[in-house]
Amino acid sequence: MISVVIPAHNEERVLKRCLEALLEGAEPRELEVIVVCNGCSDGTLEVARYYSDQLQILELPHASKNDALNLGDQAASSFPRFFLDADVVCSIQTLRCLASALESPQILAVAPLYTVSQENCSWSVKAYYTVNNLLPLYRAGFGGAGIYGLSELGRHRFKKFHEIYADDTFIRLMFADSEWRTVRCYTEIFAPKNLIDLIRIKTRSHFGGRELREKFPNLRPYWRKNWLTLMYLALNPLLLPKVFMYVFIRLSTRIRCYFIYSKTQKKWERDESAR
């Protein structure tokens, strides 16, 4: 049985999409799905209850993704074990592909690549993802796909999920390249519709990376090769405007991160336009 933990905070508008993609075509007793509703003030719990015969529902009174991950992880009973964001579409075929990769004893953790739904998105958003998907971090599976999976041995690599923003990147950095596999299957994520919303969620992402470097200074510097690739991509006249837009967005997020996020007050920003 494959265990899947889904933390869900006010995900009424997207949880059905996530669950239907995951459950459609699954064999009886193939999946153990655990939805952890945390601090919800909308209809997330009611959406989950609609599928109650196919999954387990847990509740937390406060909003915390990391507490939800830990609670769902404690309730899960089998391996391989996956942790899936509620706003991501992951089919049962993708999940099987990932689980198959974990059958190798040398592979302790896996993640897929992802496609980006860009329907009705602005040019600036499309330009960002065009460049982003050409960078080394995308090909190496450093977050963004909304799901990662662990073998039983891989799960024993750490005691619990830390109270950090970039939980997926942290998990990736727990494993050597020989222990991690980025599998050539895909989830679907949904891009923000406009530049402002994109900068908002990338500010949170940038803070997550900065937080990792401050709390865990011994982690390897996974981000440096990106800038070398950007300079190479800028040599292509067709990509140059998109590279400029990508750099503008990255610099904007750094500035916003400095003013909005601090050690005393952190603001969890997410895109509502794709929900």
Q: What is the pLDDT of residues 224-245, one digit of tens each?
A: 567 778 888 988 999 999 999 9
For 157-164, what is the mean pLDDT? 88
Q: What is the pLDDT of residues 4-30, one digit of tens each?
A: 999 999 999 999 999 999 999 999 999
Cβ–Cβ < 8 Å for 112, 95? no
pLDDT at 252 over 60: yes
Would you say residue 218 has pLDDT above 80?
no
Residue spans of beta strands (DSSP E) within 140-192: 147-150, 180-190
Report the pLDDT averaged over residues 98-104. 96
Whether the predicted pLDDT of 268 surpasses 90: no
C-alpha distances in Å from residue 51, one per residue of 47, 65, 76: 7, 21, 18
| DSSP helix/strand/coil, 53 | coil
The pLDDT value recorded for residue 31 is: 97
What's residue 223's pLDDT? 53
B/e letters for 73-87, b = 16+ CB within 10 Å, e = fewer, are beebeebbbbbbbbb
Please give the residue that has the higher pLDDT: either 260 or 25: 25
The CATH classification number of 2-193 equals 3.90.550.10
